[in-house]
Structure 1
């Protein structure tokens, strides 16, 4: 049997509407087929915690083979998967069209979909993943919400850990006083008609994070697009459904895909590109939705018109050229290339973008932060998330210590960025004999887009900052 393939990797549509997809005996048969191949390969041993758990499970069994492992012991392996897609994208030699036909992340998704259909997903876990409802409430009571979610608030964080399963130590995103869509409805920046890219049109799909949490990211992108001559509309029908995908609720994701695709269809028909501000959301629009709804024309058309934020800016830079006005920002930038950026197979667009800033040293770090979205803040996963992210934390810490001037640490995934910074803080607290440079401070910017806007002098207005 040959290993690997010269053909480009491909993914099959997800057969979530077929009865066999939820047949537990057939699921177990497929798990055993795939796990046995993984056991014989082991190239993914250092990607996440799923594979070490699987290999330890097999190695510790009576025969040292999969045949003596009980199927009920597979659950910790599934639970450790963050759906980062890195095994499929970067390591596995047996992905389709290879005859072994391995898609480990989508197999883990199938397991969770079976659990979800059986009602085995905790009610509170589902509530935490309702980002639009929680975002509206959080913005409506931002002062109270941000006070309650502070890591040093022992009273409320203990309650949240007990009731909702959110680890009391995990850094949680703050809520803005006003959602970005409401801010944008009151004021939009004037479009620069003299910019080389004038004539382009884009819809800014705000994403739940930029809409309800760090609105400065959306503000920066809106200002960048206007400065570069792009006519922009801000549209946010609802969340992309990544939190529901993590929990195996594929039907809910499909509903969201249909809703968002129908809302954005008229814009796409008029020649607008769709730009997502968070890589997980861009991945959903581009790749996951078409695999969930392969026959939906609106979803397919939207997929073809969608861009990641940094990808779209680099598309302008490569075709028309960016507007003049970029100035040095001083210091050095460490940019984390998130897993869901890499899964889009578009190259290091964030690194390329930041290198457009004059006289700025950019150090990319391309490895999983360990966060995994809602997964990484759960009590059962937080320690694992820190462990997986340790190599990134070590690299970023070294870069910050060497920085000549202000130290910038950004990621296309804002949640990953905050997880990395928190990991650095925890490492600093645990290390007394190594100076890491953390006391010099890290600039507050989360996203590469914010730094590019900063280099243009287009920083977000102070009245739009997140409420503390």
Structure 2
């Protein structure tokens, strides 16, 4: 992806001279005493770095890219952009520390969530069984430093693509939307995508699902910046006719949504000028319909209670918690917003052997809040928009967790459970 120029970043540094709120709130800094924190790694180091790699700077990979620092920064400094820029510079520097074959291969594997998904769905039941074999997990740990204890998402029947390149648009595009499902929904939990499409049909919208590539965030997180850039350009070109027709681009994954809104507008293509303003989280879009009086309210009563986890990348979008507002309209539904911090998994961060214990410590406050609430009978299950947050919550607590669109689908009588 393309980030702000170094001069633009440097112009924001003075705002950080006396403030340390980002490090105080950073989930990694709370559990890792060797991590100097986002302020130290981003703005403080940037004064000396200014486009060159600092030899011996070893903590760049400790940042989980959760963006909590940017959410809490009172001056709007793009701290994670600085850290990602430093990672980029480190990979290009002639005196860079050479990663071993194991870590380079791991970065390639974990960054290619899309490719892993395409392999996993060829025979999902077999893939899931193989990944549960202890010897296989030990081999992955030994060969690639992929934690033998981490929760690997299961694969299932993939989400169907409904339009290819140059897909036709109806004369009136006002009741059509484009769905960007993301790798997790497309390959690991396609039922969420299918339910979303039925919900949108119920509220009067036809959903188009082009054959998108991965949004690029997992690639960036694992140092595959050039491939992430190519994916972004490919996806924007696929979106171009729909964006030019004024159609909304919807996401159900908060990380994909943040990438479309924040990173894609920085790419050098005409579509980039449109994508930020036309990208919406599903519930953000539905709430706007409700405010215009266009959301059907033919809900049946749903007698259920849930704890809600707001993902870090939802907070970074600055749209509040629209899922809570929508679910609050459904008779019988009780939702408790736990807001207990980062789950710790952070995409592929918690899958790495050396990061697994840190990831579990980061998520410990959330796990405790879930276990206490469920133990007291405050709620029976959990809900969250982020697929990997769901995986981590279930791993850390054993409490069943689902996407909030399933609750809405129950209220619309689209599904029973």
TM-score over 0.5 (shorter chain): yes
From the superposition, tell whether residues 53 and 270 of structure 1 become closer, same or farther in structure 2 (CA, over 3 Å). same
**Regions of 4+ moved over 3 Å:** 33-40, 50-58, 71-74, 115-121
Give 1:199 deviation, angstroms.
5.1
| TM-score of the aligned structures, taking structure 1 as reference length | 0.75
Alignment partner, residue 305 of structure 2: 332
- 1:156 counterpart = 2:136: yes
Q: Is the 8 A contact 2:264 2:275 kept in 1?
A: no
Alignment partner, residue 114 of structure 1: 89
Alignment partner, residue 93 of structure 1: 74
Q: Show structure 1 runs of 5+ residues with no match.
A: 1-11, 22-26, 59-64, 96-101, 186-197, 426-441, 462-468
Alignment partner, residue 61 of structure 1: none
Q: Distance in 2 between matches of 1:55 and 1:138?
A: 36
1:449 to 393, 405, 410: 405
Give 1:54 deviation, angstroms.
6.8
Aligned pairs for 1:28-427 within 5 A: 41=20, 44-50=23-29, 53=32, 74-76=57-59, 78-90=60-72, 92-95=73-76, 102-117=77-92, 120=99, 122-150=104-132, 153-176=133-156, 178-181=157-160, 200-291=175-266, 293=267, 295-366=268-339, 367-403=341-377, 407-425=380-398
Q: Distance in 1 between matches of 2:78 and 2:200?
A: 37
From the superposition, tell whether residues 423 and 72 of structure 1 become closer, same or farther in structure 2 (CA, over 3 Å). farther
Query: Whose Rg is larger?
Result: 1
Give 1:320 deviation, angstroms.
3.0
Q: Distance in 2 between matches of 1:73 and 1:37?
A: 23
From the superposition, tell whether residues 56 and 40 of structure 1 become closer, same or farther in structure 2 (CA, over 3 Å). farther
The secondary structure found in structure 2 opposite 1:180 is coil
Give 1:200 deviation, angstroms.
2.4
Q: Show structure 2 runs of 5+ residues with no match.
A: 38-43, 46-53, 164-172
What is the root-mean-square deviation in Å for CA atoms of aligned residues?
A: 3.2
Q: Deviations over 1:234-253 (max 9, x none)?
A: 12321100011212333322
Give 1:109 deviation, angstroms.
0.7
The alignment of Structure 1 onto Structure 2 pairs a total of residues equal to 385
Give 1:130 deviation, angstroms.
0.8
Q: Distance in 2 between matches of 1:124 and 1:228?
A: 43
Q: Is the 8 A contact 1:50 1:80 kept in 2?
A: no
Alignment partner, residue 190 of structure 1: none
Q: Distance in 2 between matches of 1:344 and 1:230?
A: 24
The secondary structure found in structure 2 opposite 1:282 is helix
Q: Deviations over 1:314-366 (max 9, x none)?
A: 12222233224312322311111001001011111121122122121111122
